[in-house]
């Protein structure tokens, strides 16, 4: 497999080399004519004043519609969430903080969490000169409550009894029932309820059908133009940028214009960046290597290997359907875990470029500090209920990081450091031991046995065949985990079939799988230690039997002890010091039960082109998140620096 992967990589690089070599003679669609120009469709831009980025969600299907409050998908990552709108609060998962944006301070609840008071930042204005006040928030929530088809219609009707303005800058929510996390509907992580202008929507008959074109901004940029074909959207800086949270918090955004441009497949994006037509793109590991090889001004999140982004707040791996046999047995789930060699898995999936994580939360720098460090001693002493050589087996492997480091060195890569603690920040603290002998004992004590060919049989004597489900895109993280784990389990003697399908989301939602690449735990907030968002999905109140649409986590696992942890978190303010302690209780249960198999962080790959712009938030200066599609992009813009070209 390693040879095949290397050959595939060389083919990609060779193909891109041919494409790049011929780019001066052939003008591609959507490509500038000379090096350093912007896209041909945007010939009037001043390239040195314009920041051009990718669009993660692709071509916009309804390019003239900017109403992201309707439940219909409107491609918010075309700049709507990044530069046009501001939330009440913004999660910054790199620095580990929740930023007060339109809100002047954090949420204030009464003692029993039935009333929430929100203080707004004064002096913030919509782009048409109208001040943003409590009246906007009150109107928005009331309109959403009475209008089916608007996002958060169900949530606001479930929880909001009354909402009113106590004064010009103070909003009060009276709730129908206690909810210590009600404010999180307004916390922008990658999606939140972002306020819209009362003075515009109050004149609209149908707020769902309304296209909000031209849009009015609360963020630092306003719409300038867009492509009717849906390939690009162009924004220009507001003259009154200082009357936005971005300006108030961080100062003037440097680019005069922002263009969100969808180039299509990875090869086209690489070609465009090689010609300096796009400044920030997300790529695969293979195409990243190609662009770094061809462009002197391109760089990754890390300037040297390993290039990947290690701050993305997602834990990736394998989800098991714990609602069906034999995966409803934790011995089986643990056996499958111990049959995986983490170094082989990460080597196969990502060529070693990932941060291993054994907990149900991502091993990002802030979660390493909040949880992994605090649980390291417990993990080292944790025992499974099985004896090996007369002793309880301890499955945790604190040396897994060292083994991964040796692997990447054997591949010829030079590491940025030899410091053990720094390497743990890059590659993780540890994972589970590769212990197929222990996995075998766990299975045998539950009636499993091998046939004459060494293949595993179920307790009823039938061949054990695992059906794994994933999407069809080989560059996706879930796809790569699924095929890497398939190799591990087949090596262990299990017949494993992978079904790649465009209907993977539907199949997993209805429990039509044994294992899949869906995240093994719901993503946490990212910039806050509260684990309610993650652990809540395992509460038994969300359980639905296989065959019914899923409500909680895709594993359908539930546990009364986890219920107690979630209930306790609901009784705590999310800033209560007990939140971390309670979160650790929940993580310990998830380790003991292993409802699904956490493997690694989301190893994102970005390429910054430093031809026109520098001071990107790379690993050496992680002042904010590094992607173009997250709403935090607006907070990157004041820190960019022009090169003068």
What's the CATH number where 538 sits? 3.10.105
Q: What is the mean pLDDT of the chain?
A: 93
What CATH number has the domain bearing residue 180?
3.90.76.10
CA-CA distance, 224 to 227, in Å (whole number)?
A: 11
CA-CA distance, 191 to 303, in Å (whole number)?
A: 30
Whether 241 and 167 share a structural domain:
no
Check whether 502 has a pLDDT greater than 90. yes
Question: Strand, coil or helix: what is 161?
Answer: strand
Whether 164 and 271 share a structural domain:
no
Percent of all residues in the chain with a pLDDT value above 90, rounded to a whole number? 89
Whether 334 and 431 share a structural domain:
yes
Backbone phi and psi for residue 167, each to the nearest 5 degrees, phi listed first: -155, -170
Check whether 25 has a pLDDT greater than 50. no
**Pick from 601, 617, 632: which residue ends a domain?**
601
Structural domain harbouring 196: 89-201
Whether 248 and 382 share a structural domain:
no
Span 393-421, mean pLDDT? 96
The whole-number pLDDT of residue 23 equals: 33
For the chain, what is the domain count? 3
In a domain, 434, yes or no: yes
In a domain, 329, yes or no: yes
pLDDT band at 272 (very low <50, low <70, confident <90, very high): very high
In a domain, 505, yes or no: no
Q: What 3 state SS string does 444-509 have?
A: HCCCCEECCCCCEECCCCCECEEEEEECCCCCCHHHHHHHHHHHHHHHCCCEEEEEECCCHHHHHH
Check whether 32 has a pLDDT greater than 90. no
In a domain, 310, yes or no: no
Span 236-247, mean pLDDT? 98
CA-CA distance, 246 to 639, in Å (whole number)?
A: 11
pLDDT band at 266 (very low <50, low <70, confident <90, very high): confident
CB 550 within 8 A of CB 512: no
In a domain, 480, yes or no: no
Whether 410 and 534 share a structural domain:
yes
pLDDT band at 622 (very low <50, low <70, confident <90, very high): very high
Whether 547 and 593 share a structural domain:
yes
What CATH number has the domain bearing residue 43?
3.40.190.10
Whether 538 and 586 share a structural domain:
yes
Whether 39 and 101 share a structural domain:
no
DSSP secondary structure, 413-451, as one string: PPPS---HHHHHHHH-S-EE---HHHHHHHHHTTT-EE-
Whether 177 and 262 share a structural domain:
no
The whole-number pLDDT of residue 30 equals: 43
Structure tokens at 603: 């190893």
Whether 592 and 539 share a structural domain:
yes
The whole-number pLDDT of residue 613 equals: 98
The whole-number pLDDT of residue 40 equals: 65
Whether 342 and 411 share a structural domain:
yes
Whether 121 and 259 share a structural domain:
no
Segment 340-366, tens digit of pLDDT = 999 999 999 999 999 999 999 999 999
Backbone phi and psi for residue 597, each to the nearest 5 degrees, phi listed first: -115, 100
Check whether 114 has a pLDDT greater than 80. yes
In a domain, 307, yes or no: no
The whole-number pLDDT of residue 37 equals: 61
DSSP secondary structure, 5-68, as one string: HHHHHHHHHHHHHHHHHTTTTS--TT--SSTT---GGGTTS-GGGEEEE--TT-S-SSTT---T
Segment 123-171, tens digit of pLDDT = 999 999 999 999 999 999 999 999 999 999 999 999 999 999 999 999 9
Check whether 12 has a pLDDT greater than 80. no
In a domain, 65, yes or no: yes
Span 49-73, mean pLDDT? 95
In a domain, 476, yes or no: no
The whole-number pLDDT of residue 38 equals: 65
pTM of this structure: 0.92
């Amino acid at each position: 497999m390693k040879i095949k992967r290397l050959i595939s990589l060389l083919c990609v690089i060779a193909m891109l080399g041919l494409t790049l070599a011929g780019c001066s003679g052939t003008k591609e669609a959507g490509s500038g004519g000379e090096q350093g120009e912007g896209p041909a469709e945007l010939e009037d831009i001043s390239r040195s004043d314009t920041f051009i980025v990718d669009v993660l969600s692709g071509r916009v299907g309804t390019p003239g519609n900017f109403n992201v409050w309707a439940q219909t998908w409107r491609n918010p990552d075309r700049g709507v969430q990044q530069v046009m709108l501001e939330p009440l609060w913004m999660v910054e998962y790199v620095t580990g903080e929740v930023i007060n944006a339109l809100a002047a301070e954090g949420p204030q609840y009464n003692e029993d969490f039935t009333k929430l008071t929100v203080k707004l930042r004064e002096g913030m204005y919509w782009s048409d000169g109208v001040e943003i006040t409590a009246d906007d928030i009150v109107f928005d929530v009331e309109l959403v409550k009475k209008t089916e088809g608007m996002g958060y219609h169900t949530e606001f009707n479930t929880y909001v009894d009354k909402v009113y303005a106590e004064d010009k800058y103070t909003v009060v929510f009276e709730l129908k029932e206690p909810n210590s996390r009600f404010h999180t509907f307004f916390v922008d992580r990658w999606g939140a309820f972002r306020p819209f202008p009362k003075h515009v929507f109050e004149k609209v008959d149908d707020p769902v059908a309304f296209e909000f074109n031209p849009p009015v901004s609360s963020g630092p940029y306003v719409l300038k133009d867009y492509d009717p074909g849906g390939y690009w959207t162009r924004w220009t800086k507001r003259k009154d940028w200082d009357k936005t949270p971005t300006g108030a918090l961080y100062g003037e955004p440097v680019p005069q214009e922002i263009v969100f441009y969808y180039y299509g497949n990875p090869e086209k994006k690489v070609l465009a960046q090689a010609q300096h037509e796009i400044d920030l793109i997300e790529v695969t590991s293979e195409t990243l290597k190609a662009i770094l090889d061809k462009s002197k001004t391109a760089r990754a999140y890390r300037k040297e290997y390993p290039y990947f982004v290690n701050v993305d707040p997602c834990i990736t791996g394998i989800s098991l359907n714990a609602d069906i046999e034999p995966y409803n047995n934790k011995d089986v789930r643990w056996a499958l875990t111990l049959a995986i060699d983490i170094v082989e898995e990460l080597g196969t999936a990502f060529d070693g470029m990932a941060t291993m994580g054994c907990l149900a939360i991502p091993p990002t720098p802030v979660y390493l500090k909040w949880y992994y460090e605090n649980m390291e001693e417990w993990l080292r002493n944790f025992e499974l209920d099985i004896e090996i050589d007369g002793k309880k087996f301890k499955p945790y492997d604190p040396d897994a990081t060292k083994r991964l480091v040796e692997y990447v060195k054997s591949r010829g890569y030079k590491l940025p450091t030899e410091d053990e603690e720094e390497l743990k920040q890059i590659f993780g603290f540890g994972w589970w031991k590769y212990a197929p002998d222990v996995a075998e004992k766990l299975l045998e004590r539950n009636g499993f046995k091998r046939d004459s060919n060494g293949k595993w049989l179920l307790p009823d004597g039938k061949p054990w065949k695992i059906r794994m489900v994933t999407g069809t895109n080989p560059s996706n993280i879930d796809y790569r985990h699924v095929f890497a784990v398939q190799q591990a389990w087949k090596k262990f003697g299990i017949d494993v079939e992978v079904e790649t399908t465009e209907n993977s989301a539907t199949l997993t939602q209805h429990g039509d799988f044994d294992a899949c690449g869906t995240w093994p735990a719901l993503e946490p907030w990212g910039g806050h230690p509260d684990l309610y968002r993650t652990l809540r999905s395992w509460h038994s109140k969300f359980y639905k039997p296989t065959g019914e649409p899923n409500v909680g986590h895709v594993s359908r696992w539930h546990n009364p002890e986890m219920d107690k942890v979630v209930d306790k978190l609901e009784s705590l303010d999310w800033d209560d010091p007990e939140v971390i302690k309670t979160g650790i209780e929940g993580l310990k249960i998830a380790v003991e039960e292993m409802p699904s198999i956490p493997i690694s962080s989301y190893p994102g790959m970005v390429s910054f082109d430093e031809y026109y712009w520098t001071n990107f938030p790379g690993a050496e200066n992680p002042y904010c998140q590094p992607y173009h599609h997250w709403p935090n992009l607006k907070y990157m813009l004041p820190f960019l620096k022009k090169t003068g070209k």
